[in-house]
Amino acid sequence: MQDFMASAKRFFKNKNTVTIIGIIAIAILLYVGYSSQINKAVEPVQVPVATQTIQPRTEITDDMVQLVDMPSVSISDNVITSRSSIVGKYSNINSVIPEGSMFYTDTVIDKDEIPDSAFTKVKAGEVAYNFPVDMESTYGNSIFPGNKIDIYMKVGNGTDEKVMIGRLIENIEVLAVKDASGRAVFENTAEERTPAMLIFGLSEDLNILLKKASYMDSLGVELYPVPSGGSVSTEGATQVSTQQLVDYIEAHAVNIPTVTNEGTTTTEDKLLPTMTQTGTNPIKVAITYPKGCGSTYTCSYTKDGGRVVTVKKTNQTVSFTKNGTLVATVTEKNGTAHTFTTEVPMTTNSTNNVGQ
């Protein structure tokens, strides 16, 4: 026994022996730890995956989801591992979930979280505008969200009056292209959707201008998009400037004038005469016409239904010694009349007529 103990002491005092034992022990520990980590990483975990391709804005039903075994190492932190957290939810507006794909936290949302991305992109100070289009006016459905377009305007039918063409608004960013049901045309890869409207943002004044032009079908006005910077054929038509188109729209738009408590008319129609009442005995009404009377326009007035008096100056004063009616008119060369009629003394209840 003593010989054995002595031999053991000599064995462990040998530095080479101790080193070898230490190396073996470390190797065993490393192997056990590595094997444990490997087993843990490849241990199968049940994860929901899509049984079919799921398009954006689609409700995820039970038959669209199945559980499959996946190595835990392949499951990232943003993978949804609970089937109940998926069924009844919706695919996000910008997410197509492929068949066989796992479900991720940023691709699955609640129904009330589905936004209309077009309106979230409208800039501060702008108004969303819905511009009607079809397959032809979008160049075979070739206008996409993010594209820049110009809005061109055509006036006239080529028969009764000469056709004018010009660019009304330029460099507009398309925010969305939607079909007649309000669905985004390009968000669904499994359906062919026909474009019916372009949505973009406009400043308030351009929004009003374009809306006015859109109501002028009877005057032969057509509005259509053109890729920004592109050109259009003007064969058989007169090409006009943006300002000329704006002037045409404002001249033919119907604007109802109002009378203030002081008897001053206000209006958006730049060609409509305005009136201001002064004095009491006699009552004096000052008519203000736009510049161009006698040259660009024919300016006139009638008092109490009498004869028509033509004037060639911007300001004209008409006197009344009793109650009466005053009609002031500006007539364009094409015959369009801008008329304001009021009862004297002028009150907020005066009769206002436009375009008569």
The type of residue at 92 is N
Backbone angles phi, psi at 173, to 5 degrees: -90, 125
The type of residue at 332 is E
pLDDT along the chain (356 residues), means of 10: 58 61 70 61 80 89 91 82 90 86 89 68 86 92 93 79 86 91 78 89 91 85 90 79 87 58 56 82 88 88 85 89 86 80 67 41
CA distance 302 to 181: 53
CA distance 198 to 138: 9
Q: Give residue 353's pLDDT.
A: 42
CATH class (in words) of the domain with range 44-113 = alpha beta
CA distance 7 to 1: 10
* CA end-to-end span of the chain: 134
CA distance 298 to 239: 26
The type of residue at 256 is I
CB neighbours of residue 212 within 10 Å: 18
We find that the CATH architecture of domain 258-344 is Sandwich (2.60)
